[in-house]
Amino acid sequence: MGTKGRDFVESVARIIPGYKGYSEREKRRDMDKLVRETMAKSIDAARHDLDAVLADLGRRGAFEHLETIESIRRRAGTEAERLRRAPAGFSGFFDTIQVETEQLDRIHEHDSRLGEQAQAFQSAVDALKTQLDAEHLQAAAQAIERIEDHVRRRENVMKGVE
Q: Is residue 24 part of a domain?
A: no
CATH of the domain at 146: 1.20.1420
pLDDT of 96: 42
pLDDT of 124: 97
Q: Is residue 2 part of a domain?
A: no
pLDDT of 157: 82
Q: Which domain holds residue 70?
A: 29-159
pLDDT of 22: 59
pLDDT of 95: 46
pLDDT of 134: 92
Q: Is residue 107 part of a domain?
A: yes
Q: Is residue 116 part of a domain?
A: yes
Q: Is residue 117 part of a domain?
A: yes
Q: What is the pTM of this model?
A: 0.77
pLDDT of 87: 75
Please name the residues in contact with 73: beta carbons below 8 A apart, sequence gap of 6 or more.
47, 50, 51, 54
**What is the domain count for the chain?**
1
pLDDT of 53: 93
Compute the distance between CA of residue 104 and CA of residue 32 in angstroms, rounded to an integer. 10
pLDDT, averaged per 10 consecutive residues of the chain (162 residues), comes to: 60 63 69 89 97 91 91 97 80 48 76 92 96 94 97 84 70
